Every structure is written in structure tokens, then in C-alpha cells.
Amino acid sequence: MKPARKQRLLVVVFIVVIAALVVGLLSYALRENINLFYTPSQIAAGEAPSNTQIRVGGMVVVDSLQRAADSLDSSFLVSDGSATLLIHYSGILPDLFAEDEAAVATGALGDDGAFVAQQVLAKHDEEYTPPEVADAMQQAIDKKAKASSAKAAGDALNKTKSKALDSTEAGY
């Protein structure tokens, strides 16, 4: 083999070995670090693993936000129209966090069935509903055969959408 060619072969082998290593590591790291999204209904049905980092989301239930008197601990309920989930959080809630608005939380499900969030995200702006939440609401609607509950979920979803138009709503 010509030296130049031999060297090229070496380079190729070098790159292939590195690439294989990287792909292996990448897929390992991806498996360890992806956060799956679950809806409150899925959690109520016991589909979500506990003590593993996941994401949940839904509409914050009206009058469910409670704050501790002497710390930043707070808790609230999120709903997808058919089930609700209790979320505990310690920290500053985002600017656009509000009751009857969409929120997504990252954290883990405790053994008692409550969700402990490390991070809570709300909408970016008035018009935006996190796609996961919109989807979750839609799923809830699809699932419910009962007209009444479908109506409730439908209302909640419509409300999110109509919020965009309702710009007079007071902040605090």
C-alpha cells in the first residue's frame, strides 16, 4: 500500500472507531436523560413511573394554588379535563404562571402520588399553550365518551385558546 493511502486508511479507521464510541455513548446518555411527558390522566391510571424524572402538565385548577406562609413552598393542582394531579414546588413561579392557565412541570412522582417539581414552566406569551398540554387536553376529550366530561374539557381547552383575545385580563 502507498504511504498516503495507508495513512488515509488509518484516518478512516480512527474516525470509525471514534464515531462508534460516540454513538454508543450518545444513545446511553440519551436514554438516561430524556424526560417523558405524562398527562394527569396517565398518572391517575398509574402509567407513569415514580421517582424517575418526568414532565407533567395541564391547566392549573382555579383556587388550587397554596403558598406556605414563611417560605417559597407552594402547591397547586393541574388538570387535563378528566384527572387532576397535585404538584409541590419550592421556588419562584414563572411570570406567566396563573390559575386557569397552562403549566408544565419537570420533576418526579413521589410514592404518595404527589408530584414534586424542580422546575415549572408557564406559557411564553398570552397566545401560546404548551403543545403537550394542548395535546393532553385533546386526548382527554377524545377518551371521554361521556358528553358531560367531554364538555368540561372542551371548555377548558377553548378557554386557553380564547385567552389570546382577552387582553384586558388583569395581572395581579
Residues that bind other proteins (CB under 8 A): 3-4, 7, 11, 14-15, 18-19, 22, 25-26, 29-30, 32-37, 53, 55, 67, 70-72, 91-93, 95-96, 106, 124-126, 128, 131-132, 134-135, 167-172
**Pairwise CA distance, residues 112 & 76, whole Å:** 15
131-143 and 147-163 helices, crossing angle to 10° = 160
Nearest approach in angstroms of CB 11 to other proteins is 7
**Pairwise CA distance, residues 33 & 55, whole Å:** 12
Hey, what's the cell of 94? 414563572
Q: Closer to other proteins at the Cβ: 116 or 152?
A: 116
Nearest approach in angstroms of CB 61 to other proteins is 19
Hey, what's the cell of 144? 371521554
113 contact partners, CB below 8 Å, separation of at least 6 = 86
Nearest approach in angstroms of CB 98 to other proteins is 9
43 contact partners, CB below 8 Å, separation of at least 6 = 56, 83, 85, 109, 115
**Pairwise CA distance, residues 154 & 137, whole Å:** 8
Q: Closer to other proteins at the Cβ: 151 or 158?
A: 158
Q: Closer to other proteins at the Cβ: 15 or 146?
A: 15
Nearest approach in angstroms of CB 76 to other proteins is 13
Nearest approach in angstroms of CB 147 to other proteins is 26
Q: Closer to other proteins at the Cβ: 106 or 152?
A: 106
Q: Closer to other proteins at the Cβ: 147 or 170?
A: 170
